[in-house]
Chain A
Amino acid sequence: MPNAGGGRAAVRRLEAVFRGRQRAALMPYLTAGFPDLDSLPALLAALAVGGADAVELGIPFSDPLADGPALQAAATAALTAGFTLDGLWDVLERTLPSFPLPVVLLTYVNPILAHGTLRFVERAVACGVTGLIVPDLPWVESGPLRRLTRDRGLALVPMATPNSPERHLQRIRSGEGFVYGVSVTGVTGVRDQLAPDVLAFASRLKEAVRLPVAIGFGISTPEQAARVGTVADGVIVGSALVSAMMQDPVHAAGVATATVRALHAALDKQEGRGPE
């Protein structure tokens, strides 16, 4: 059920995505408004059909400094096509009540502030969003927003990176939803190879925090997803999916389903992984 009544149900629903499964959960990323906002319901459905377990939905921003070329281009295209936050809320309000998967919003901090933090959180909750990822709001700056999201039953997802010190991993133990493990020191983008130490990084996170650990940034191919999935509780694939959609925007929904299906199949084949 979507998070109609607020409270803890939504956060528990998000955490449940990563637990009690034979394989790692698959969380594809979409840029909202790319190729246009009208196609968002169909694209979300396409991800579900392909076998996604949850969806990360990015709000386009003019200055996405944690993103590589693919997601920058998608954001620019979405803004050029007239994306607005009010337009997004309209679509989500209509779509999420009947959408089977938890949806987590990714947004840079400034659109939240401009919209009004409380208003932003309340609208997200009212639409049935389950979590929030803010890549330029590090944990030490996130106190006020965290209190608000906690009160309203929205998970503010903490992030960790390969160079995060122990102290940071200790702090984010009180986070909610899952830990977003950034696999590389770098920005989002398609990469030929996984970071060599990504499995060790995922293990380190799992040992340090009690939350599920999903790994993202630079995971592009089904093989890479499967490898990361041997350790992580979840795998996030963004640039590879958005790039594929960009190559063929007219058939974006079909491309999305096919891309997710291939990732899902690879995760399903994964061996050596027991239930939680």
Chain B
Amino acid sequence: MGADTTHPVGVELPKGIRPGGRGRFGPFGGQFVPETLMPALAELEYAYRAARQDPAFRQELAHILSRYVGRPTPITAAERLSEAVGAAVYLKREDLCHTGAHKINNTVGQLLLARRMGKTRVIAETGAGQHGVATATAAALLGLRAEIYMGAEDVDRQALNVYRMRLLGAEVHTVTSGSRTLKDATNEAIRDWVTNVHHTYYAIGSVVGPHPYPTMVRDFQAVIGREARRQMLALGGPPTHVVACVGGGSNAMGIFHAFRRDPVALVGVEAAGEGLHSARHAASLSAGTPGVLHGALSYLLQDADGQIRLAHSVSAGLDYPGVGPEHAHLAATGRAQYEAVTDDAALAAFHELSRLEGVIPALESAHAVAWVYSRRGHWPNGARILVNLSGRGDKDVDQVARREAAASRMGGGADA
């Protein structure tokens, strides 16, 4: 806490935005969508509230989380990593969830809701394909039809996940507009929703989008923090720091939420790509400005005219020019601190965790590990660091291997 949690970014809010209205986190959030979607958002909010209060819904969700997803996920005391950084490090093992990442916590929740609402068709956007796979998986489980929007670039880069989604019975639409990545896949999913709003449920993959999505996705992911808080007490005491990577911000909100009133430092780690001073990064909170993208006011990467800039990260799951509005609020109030870690540092952590703990992290999660590692030797006495290991790295092994092979062909040697 203290100096640790003050946010480095001065907040300058755009004029003409009403603070604290409906579905707001401070001034952030809101519902910046075409009028066509407003009735659908109202319907969703109503249905979600009713479902939350319905014991049958909660029971069914809990049942799926334990018998199908594999919850609770364990916490691993990372002893060799702890020795290397000079502080006790604990890993919340979301990589052990079915499908290999935390994304499934959200999709089983949302698709149960979709079924309850009588929607027969589910759409989703995906970047690397993790949320697409998690959506396709939940759709198969619940007998719903899933269609996934994925940018053409990502379809090429993540061919295996495209096959996985199809294997699970989902249809994959290749998006060729704009940047041909996650940002445009999201635009295309929203266009589909505007068109087919009567029978279609839009399952957003992170704590982004118009109200009520940021709250709802956080609630479905909050199981991570609830478990971890209990588990840490059983492991000798609460953490002093909770660290998670931030793309849209769902795994971070998921683990932060239960700790929000505790005297614990909350640290979100964004992707600094090739460096915050290069144009190639994805650090919306560390280097962006307030604006509206995909239905919510938050921080984003944009130029002086408000055109959205392309994000870059070695990790496809962090490669997004926006961030969830609740993170913008946590940053503005100083309750959480946001740091950024470069591609190279994340790749080094990818190796380090694999070698030291026998755990291959997702490149996204490797950013959180890298930040902890970057402060080795400087951790205060008694620090107990809880890292959300949001996913496993099997999906990334091929990409990292190819990158390192290319680097060594160029005579530079692997960068890790």
Binding site for B on A (CB under 8 A): 61-66, 68-69, 72, 76, 79, 84-85, 108-118, 135-141, 143-145, 148, 159-161, 163-165, 168, 182, 184-187
Cβ proximity bits B123-159 to A, threshold 8 Å, 1 near / 0 not: 0000000000000000000000000000000000000
Query: B307–A111 contact, CB under 8 A?
Result: yes
A113 contacts B306, CB within 8 Å? yes
The answer to whether B292 touches A113, judged by C-beta atoms less than 8 angstroms apart, is: yes
CA distance A266 to B184 in the complex (A): 38
Name the A residues within 8 Å of B177 (CB-CB): 69, 72, 76
Q: Which residues of A contact B14 (CB under 8 A)?
A: 113-114, 116-117
Residue numbers in A under 8 Å from B308 (CB-CB): 62-63, 110
Query: Bound complex: CA of A66 vs CA of B38, how far in Å?
Result: 13
CB-defined contacts of B317 to chain A, threshold 8 Å: none
Q: A79: which B residues are within 8 A, CB to CB?
A: 307
Q: Is the CB–CB distance between A165 and B39 below 8 Å? A: yes
How far is B22's CA from A205's CA once the two chains are assembled, in angstroms? 27
Please name all residues of chain A whose beta carbon is closer than 8 Å to the beta carbon of B9 when the two chains form the complex. Answer: none
Docked CA distance A62–B307 (Å): 5
> How many whole Å from B101's CB to the nearest CB in chain A?
26
Asked if residues A168 and B38 are in contact (CB atoms below 8 Å), the reply is yes
Question: Nearest chain-B residue to A73 (Cβ)?
Answer: B177
Interchain residue pairs with CB less than 8 A apart (26): A62-B308, A63-B178, A63-B184, A63-B308, A64-B187, A65-B190, A65-B191, A68-B191, A72-B178, A109-B32, A113-B291, A113-B292, A114-B304, A114-B306, A115-B306, A135-B34, A136-B33, A138-B31, A139-B35, A141-B18, A141-B31, A141-B32, A185-B36, A185-B194, A185-B197, A186-B195
Write the chain B residue with the least CB distance to A116. B15
Among A85, A118, A136, A137, the most chain B Cβ lie within 10 Å of the Cβ of A136
Q: Are B31 and A140 in contact (CB under 8 A)?
A: yes
B305 interface hit (Cβ, 8 Å): yes
Interface size for chain B: under 10, 10 to 19, 20 to 34, or 35 or more residues?
A: 35 or more
Inter-chain contacts of A160 with B (CB < 8 A): 35
Q: B35 to A185, Cβ gap below 8 A?
A: no
Report yes or no: A63 in contact with B31, Cβ–Cβ below 8 A: no
Determine if B358 is an interface residue (Cβ-Cβ < 8 Å). Answer: no
Please, how many angstroms separate the alpha-carbon atoms of A2 and B304 in the complex? 28
Q: For the complex, is B302 an interface residue (Cβ under 8 Å from A)?
A: yes
The answer on a CB contact under 8 Å between A113 and B33 is no
A246 CB to nearest chain B CB (Å): 15
Known contacts A136-B295, A141-B30: A111-B35 contact under CB 8 Å: no
Question: In the bound complex, what is the Cα–Cα distance between A64 and B190 (angstroms)?
Answer: 10
Q: Given the complex of chains A and B, what is the CA–CA distance between A141 and B39 in angstroms?
A: 14
Does B10 reach chain A (CB closer than 8 Å)? Answer: no
Contact flags B22-45 to A (C-beta < 8 A → 1, else 0): 100000001111111011000000
Interface assignment of B16: CB less than 8 Å from any CB of chain A: yes
Contacts of B22 on A, CB cut-off 8 Å?
140
> Which residues from A are CB-within-8-Å of B292?
108-110, 113, 136
Contact across chains for A112 and B30 when beta carbons are under 8 A apart:
no
Q: How far is the CA of A161 from the CA of B30 in the complex (A)?
A: 20
A110-B302 contact in complex given A138-B38, A164-B39, C-beta closer than 8 Å: yes
Chain B residues closer than 8 Å to A108, beta-carbon distance:
292
**Structural contact, A110 and B306, CB atoms closer than 8 A:** yes
**CB-based contact A168/B306 at 8 Å:** no
Pair A76/B33 contact, Cβ less than 8 Å: no
B266-321 with Cβ < 8 A to chain A: 289-295, 302-308
With a CB–CB cut-off of 8 A, which chain B residues contact A184? 195
Instruction: Check B305 against A111 for contact (C-beta < 8 Å).
Output: yes
* A residues less than 8 Å from B34 (CB atoms): 65-66, 135-136, 138, 159, 161, 182
Contact A187 B305 (CB under 8 A): no
B54 to chain A, nearest CB (A): 25
Q: Which of A116, A136, A163, A187 contacts B32 (CB 8 A)?
A: A136
Contact of B305 among A114, A140, A185 (CB under 8 A): A114
Q: List residues of chain A with CB within 8 A of the CB of B295.
A: 136
Known contacts A63-B293, A69-B177; is-contact A145 B16 (Cβ 8 Å): yes
